[in-house]
Amino acid sequence: MAKWFNWGNKNKAKDKNKDEKVHEEQNLSAQEFEEAEEELSEEDLKALEEEALQAAPEEVIEQAEEIPTEEPPVETEQVKPKKPGFFEKLKDGLKKTRDSITLRIDQVLVSFGKVDEELFEELEEILITSDMGMDTSLKIIAELREKVKKEKITDARGVRQAIKEIIASRLVDEDTGLKLNSKPSVIVVIGVNGVGKTTSIGKIAHHLKSQGKRVTVAAADTFRAAAIDQLEIWAKRAGVEIVKHSEGADPSAVIYDAVQHCKSKGADVLICDTAGRLHTKKNLMEELKKVFRVINRELPDADIETLLVLDATTGQNAVSQAKTFSEVSELSGIVLTKLDGTAKGGIVVSIKSELNVPVKFIGVGEQMDDLQPFNPSEFVEALFGSD
């Protein structure tokens, strides 16, 4: 499992250890998810479901008190770090990817005196190894060949600019915002375990709340008590309400209660956390389908965003995960987390080309404001810099 460190904050380290423990408990990587065996018989599944239903749902609805986000402790005024803006955070977060793509492109451009076939091959190699995907990399280089020929580009600077423009044009998408016009509207967050669903929910809740929306989160990952506790911590940080039942409860029952809560309290957005693993993959998919059935039945006219969370560090697995999860609901967007922990941020480009689902948020760290709405032009600027 990837380790995240260097945040220089005791509380944060404590939280992180907890998170890591949680994930050790779960012990199922994205790859294992793909290979998950159908271990339970039909009867076992039935018994499991009955057990979940019987697990007396002790509903707790809380108006969370907002608690301060965890900034590093500041000792004196002089050492107080300047809080970086969004763009700076993005740039910092993408440092590894920038070193892997842009720096290498620049080195190749400097070492090659002229624009020839060998140069194109070198550039192609860089794109492929930064996880842009074989297919996408080949297309980008094919486009580059055309552009170089058409615009009679002969120098390194021109080639660099051409690559930047091609990548930018591939990322442009009109649909990167959330469509949350109904009251309430719903965001269902899905994805394999450990990708960053719960953390992203906390951050999205914070983001929407700062836009003046009244947000409720639903703890529909009832598979482990720790999952409910973790969401509760994030709800408190973001200062939003949480609807939860106890461990083992039926996730659909949690969602049902959460929807009623939102209707009666006039909440604007309901964000649903879901399990990343159950005993089997089939089991998980059935549970998620049921969750969507409840939402569609209770809120037939609501705007529903189905966000698939993908971990940028797991690279090309993303495509098969997206395929599996689109079984339960049409995906409306991708949340791409942990871009700060990988040199393979090129995955943004391949996701866009291969999945045909817009990337709506990107995660560049573990703090509350480290999840940003995806802005393609800023992303390209952060990678290549301004001209």
Ligand X SMILES: Nc1nc2c(ncn2[C@@H]2O[C@H](COP(=O)(O)OP(=O)(O)OP(=O)(O)O)[C@@H](O)[C@H]2O)c(=O)[nH]1
Report the C-alpha gap between 373 and 69 in whole angstroms. Answer: 19
**Given the complex with ligand X, which of 227 and 355 has the nearer CB atom?**
227
Pick out residues in 123-142 that bind ligand X (CB under 6 A).
Answer: none
Contact 178, 333 (CB under 8 A): yes
Taking the complex as a whole, the smallest distance from the CB of residue 251 to ligand X amounts, in Å, to: 13
Interaction between residue 86 and ligand X (CB under 6 A): no
Decide which of Mg ion, ligand X, none touches 251; Cβ closer than 5 to 8 Å per partner kind: none
Interaction between residue 194 and ligand X (CB under 6 A): yes
Interaction between residue 7 and ligand X (CB under 6 A): no
Binding piece for Mg ion, criterion CB under 5 A, among 164-172, 189-197, 280-288, 315-323: 189-197
Interaction between residue 250 and ligand X (CB under 6 A): no
Binding piece for ligand X, criterion CB under 6 A, among 148-156, 169-177, 286-294, 360-368: 360-368
Question: What is the four-CA torsion angle of 64, 274, 186, 31, rounded to 10 degrees?
Answer: 130
CB 277: neighbour CB atoms within 10 A?
A: 20
The binder of ligand X chosen from 268, 287, 305, 366 (CB under 6 A):
366
Name the residue among 153, 151, 150, 125 with its Cα closest to residue 140: 125
Binding mask 281-300 vs ligand X (x if CB under 6 A, - otherwise)?
Answer: --------------------
Binding mask 218-247 vs ligand X (x if CB under 6 A, - otherwise)?
Answer: ---x-----x--------------------
Interaction between residue 346 and ligand X (CB under 6 A): no
Per DSSP, what are the bridge partners of residue 36?
A: none
Interaction between residue 244 and Mg ion (CB under 5 A): no
Taking the complex as a whole, the smallest distance from the CB of residue 52 to Mg ion amounts, in Å, to: 18
The binder of ligand X chosen from 184, 315, 363, 376 (CB under 6 A):
363
Distances (CA, A) of 38 to 42, 44, 158, 278: 10, 11, 54, 11
Exposed (0-12), middle (13-18) or buried (19+): which is 333, by Cβ within 10 Å?
A: buried
The single residue listed with the structure tokens 């965003």 is 305
The binder of ligand X chosen from 184, 346, 365, 376 (CB under 6 A):
365
Two tokens at 308? 């698939």
The binder of ligand X chosen from 184, 315, 333, 341 (CB under 6 A):
341
CB 384: neighbour CB atoms within 10 A?
A: 20
Decide which of ligand X, Mg ion, none touches 376; Cβ closer than 5 to 8 Å per partner kind: none
The binder of Mg ion chosen from 26, 100, 130, 198 (CB under 5 A):
198
| Strand runs labelled E in the chain | 60-62, 185-190, 215-220, 241-244, 269-274, 304-311, 333-337, 359-363, 371-373
**Given the complex with ligand X, which of 124 and 221 has the nearer CB atom?**
221
Taking the complex as a whole, the smallest distance from the CB of residue 223 to ligand X amounts, in Å, to: 8
Report the C-alpha gap between 204 and 265 in whole angstroms. Answer: 20
Report the C-alpha gap between 90 and 72 in whole angstroms. Answer: 19
At residue 243, the 3 state secondary structure works out as strand
The single residue listed with the structure tokens 């039945």 is 297
Interaction between residue 26 and ligand X (CB under 6 A): yes
DSSP codes joined into one string, 114-179: S--HHHHHHHHHHHIIIII-HHHHHHHHHHHHHHHHHTT--SHHHHHHHHHHHHHHHH--TT-S--
Two tokens at 362? 């990107």
**Given the complex with Mg ion, which of 1 and 74 has the nearer CB atom?**
1
Binding piece for Mg ion, criterion CB under 5 A, among 65-73, 195-203, 281-289, 297-305: 195-203
Name the amino acid, one letter, at 172.
Answer: V
Binding piece for ligand X, criterion CB under 6 A, among 52-60, 106-114, 186-194, 283-291: 186-194
Decide which of Mg ion, ligand X, none touches 133; Cβ closer than 5 to 8 Å per partner kind: none
* Residue numbers at the binding site for ligand X (CB under 6 A): 4, 16, 19, 23, 26, 191, 193-199, 221, 227, 276, 309, 337-338, 340-341, 363-366, 370
Binding site for Mg ion (CB under 5 A): 197-198
